[in-house]
Amino acid sequence: MAQQDDGSGRAPVVIVRPTTSVTSGIAVTQKLVGAAVAFGDILRRTFGPNGLDKMMYKTNGENAITNDGAKIVAELLVKHPAAKAFVQLAESQENACGDGVTGCLLFASELMREAGRLLERGIHPLVLVEAFQHSLDEVLNILDARTMHLSDSESLSLVAQTAMVGKSAESGGVELAKLLVEAMETVREAGKPTRAEHIRMVKRGRDSLQETALIKGMVVEQKFDSERVPQIKQQAGVLALTCALSLEQSKRDAEIEIERPEQMIAFLDAEEEILTKKIQTLVSSGAKAIFTSKSIDDRIKHACFDEGILVVGMMEDDGIEDLAAATNATLINHLDDIDAFSLGSLENARIEVSEREDGRRTRLIIEVGNTAGLVTLDVGGGQGVATEEYIRAMYDGLRSLEMVMGDGGSLLGAGTFHIAAALHLRELAEATAGRHRLAIEAFSRALEAIPVALASNAGEDQIDTLLKLRAAHRNESVDFGVSKDGSIGEINAVLIPATTMSHALQAATETACGLLRVDQVISSRGD
């Protein structure tokens, strides 16, 4: 790219490579809007309870079938800067809330579509930015006014069900939603924050997905001798260690010269004395279940087994931390630090044995009870794609519960909030003069795209649906939205976290406004 000829006769100054492409003016808008609309078109048919799936064929030859917006976006290989901005938007929504990615991207896409139409009519981008931000403030006020703070189990179950609608876990229905609520309430009763990070999920590798169960504790997947390992059937103390239960090894190789048989006997006696002392420390601790992330000497293991003490070694670092959290035990790094206050507790521990195509599988089921600081969802089904999608959907449900139980409140979904906010903005636009009015109306239409997408995916006419919704809300039927079958009616069983909605609206608006401030696209690739 070079400076334009100013008529002075001097050669223009070249500042970039000749292959560099510079796009300005309305062409920039067209590119940005085109990328945004393309994103919206990809995700639109996946939205809502009647959303269809996308088959993702990866570069490594693997494929996946999903309608999860975050997963779809993560698999896309995008090039355009506007498309990358939408990928970042999806990541932001997923990381912050765990759900609402598709709705967030759809709204952002519609904002850009509406902005593109107004820019073509000569409206300045900064006018749009200012009006969009003002509209957002008004919408957030509506959101606060419509937020409900419901904490009963039935309402929480509806939140979980809503998060799983249109996904594979929806088949679990009410029972699975109750399971998720029970998992979160168990953690809360244990005095831990109600966060999805305190819920673990393991694949059972057998049975059906609908046979997913809640374990108020955790699962340790190792090879166990089911006949030799003691199983605990009553309340017992738990010891969680991060040190080895064996003879301490020197950090340097050393050689010991033994000249007489009695020296060997003395050496072995010293070893035996050390091991005996460790065993006595463990037995006297009162713990009936001992876990460590390090190795265990076979002599210590067998001695503990003879005393009816369960010992498990070589756990992952994350695993021993989870065990401490589940049983409320204190992690101990040295046997000398053991005291009565460091012990946790469990109700029972049993070995589960199953025969699968890939061989015999054993795992230790640890039940802690209602005091468990960490719980596990034992997911039925195989190891395939279906199970992965099931887990993904359940995680969305848990994150939604986390938002609501953290006193974020909930909103009626199914487009009820969007149409209410859109009508409020239309009334605001009528009282607004100048070009700001057009931008506020554009924001309103972008909001209406959400219930329109729900109706369209259910096979209903978009215009008829929109007109019916507007009429209902103008007639004070403020809880009307789009039902699962596409009909217009009162919504009472579709609850979404207010925090998820708030973040989606703010993030989408910020992304759109950021793109609207772009007046030039410079590509070193020349495209």
Chain position carrying tokens 């399971």: 179
Q: Report yes or no on whether pTM surpasses 0.75.
A: yes
CA proximity to 245, closest of 318, 320, 325: 320
Give residue for tokens 């670092």: 317
CB 108 within 8 A of CB 86: yes
- Count Cα atoms within 13 angstroms, Cβ side, for 2: 9
Q: What are phi and psi of 116, to 5 degrees?
A: -60, -40
Amino acid at 385: V
pLDDT at 409: 85
Side-chain half-sphere exposure of 32, counting CA atoms within 13 A: 30
Rounded CA-CA distance 316/509 in Å is 43
Residue 381: partners with Cβ closer than 8 Å, 6 or more residues away: 203, 204, 207, 208, 209, 387, 390
Instruction: Please give the pLDDT value at position 176.
Output: 85
Residues in the chain predicted with pLDDT less than 70, given as ranges, are 1-29, 54, 56-64, 67-70, 74-80, 167-172, 247-271, 356-359, 382-383, 519-527
- Residue type, position 284, single letter: S
Residues 347, 337: Cα–Cα separation, whole Å: 24
**Cβ partners under 8 Å of residue 332, min gap 6:** 239, 240, 241, 242, 243, 338, 342
At residue 505, the pLDDT reads 93
Residue of 520, 524, 515, 523 lying closest to 116 (CA atoms): 515
Listing DSSP states for 258-289 in one string gives --SHHHHHHHHHHHHHHHHHHHHHHHHTTEEE
Record the tokens describing residue 506, joined without a space. 């703010």
* CATH for the stretch 217-250+270-368: 3.50.7.10
Q: What's the pLDDT at 246? A: 77
**Tokens found for residue 445:** 């239409």
User: Are the C-beta atoms of 501 and 72 separated by less than 8 Å?
Assistant: no
User: Which residue, among 395, 511, 513, has the nearest Cα to 105 in the 3D structure?
Assistant: 511
State the pLDDT at residue 251.
Answer: 47
Q: Concatenate the DSSP letters of all residues of 71-117 into one string.
A: HHHHH----SHHHHHHHHHHHHHHHHHSS-HHHHHHHHHHHHHHHHH
Residues facing residue 364 across a β-bridge:
220, 351
CB 367 within 8 Å of CB 233:
no
* Cβ pair 177, 396 in contact under 8 A: no
* CATH superfamily of this structure's domain 21-148+412-523: GroEL-like equatorial domain (1.10.560.10)
Q: Could you check whether 21-148+412-523 and 217-250+270-368 share the same CATH topology?
A: no
Please report the DSSP string for 347-375 in residue order.
Answer: SEEEEEEEEETTEEEEEEEEE--TT-SSE
Q: Phi and psi at residue 257, in whole multiples of 5°?
A: -90, 120
- How deeply is 261 buried, as exposed, middle or buried, from its count of CB atoms within 10 A (0-12, 13-18, 19+)? exposed
Any idea where the domains of the chain sit in the sequence?
Answer: 21-148+412-523, 217-250+270-368
Kind of pairing between the strands at 375-379 and 331-332: unpaired
User: Are 384 and 378 spatial neighbours (Cβ–Cβ below 8 Å)?
Assistant: no
| Nearest CA among 179, 306, 324, 298 for reference residue 242 | 324
